């Protein structure tokens, strides 16, 4: 398939595909006319990249998954390097969740001290003045 078809089937743009190629994540073959040519295995790589990016993985973090697929594994997350990336991402998410819980708790404290904990609007000194 040509680059436009791969982009459409993979839910991305031709520009993104060229960027993935420049980063070594995809590798196009060239047809006799010079056009890039891709096959179903490239679509599988692209879908792996896109899924991981949708989960918040940066592009470089997708590399072990792509390499795992290229090595002939049926899934990109069955190789040790991919599992390591999963572990790092889970630790990162746990840290972010902890940070968000702390922020939420602080906002709750501030809301309570402002008199808004009972869902009543807080009183304002300027209320009712012109």
- Report the predicted TM-score, pTM, of the whole model to 2 decimal places: 0.79
Q: CA-CA distance, 36 to 124, in Å (whole number)?
A: 65
37 with 3: CB under 8 angstroms? no
Closest CA to 27 of 56, 55, 69, 58: 69
From 4-18, 68-82, 107-121, the region with the lowest mean pLDDT? 107-121
Query: What is the residue-averaged pLDDT of the chain?
Result: 91
Measured at the alpha carbon of residue 55, what is the angle toward residues 101 and 107, in degrees to the nearest 5?
A: 15
Which burial class, exposed, middle or buried, applies to 67 when counting CB atoms under 10 A from its CB (0-12, 13-18, 19+)? middle
Residue 30: which H helix or E strand, with range? strand 29-30
* pLDDT for the residue numbered 35: 86
pLDDT digits (tens, 9 = 90+) for 9-68: 999 999 999 999 999 999 988 888 888 899 999 999 999 999 999 999 999 999 999 999
């Amino acid at each position: 398939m040509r680059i436009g078809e791969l982009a459409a089937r993979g839910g991305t743009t031709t520009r993104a595909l060229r960027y993935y190629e420049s980063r070594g994540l995809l590798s196009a073959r060239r047809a006799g006319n010079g056009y890039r040519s891709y096959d179903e295995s490239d679509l599988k790589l692209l879908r792996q990249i896109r899924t991981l990016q949708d989960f918040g993985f940066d592009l470089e973090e997708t590399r072990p998954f792509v390499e795992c697929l290229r090595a002939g594994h049926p899934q990109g997350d069955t190789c040790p390097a991919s599992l390591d990336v999963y572990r790092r991402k889970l630790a990162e998410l746990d840290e972010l969740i902890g940070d968000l819980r702390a922020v939420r708790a602080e906002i709750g404290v501030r809301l309570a001290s402002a008199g808004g904990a009972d869902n009543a609007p807080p009183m304002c000194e300027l209320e009712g003045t012109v």
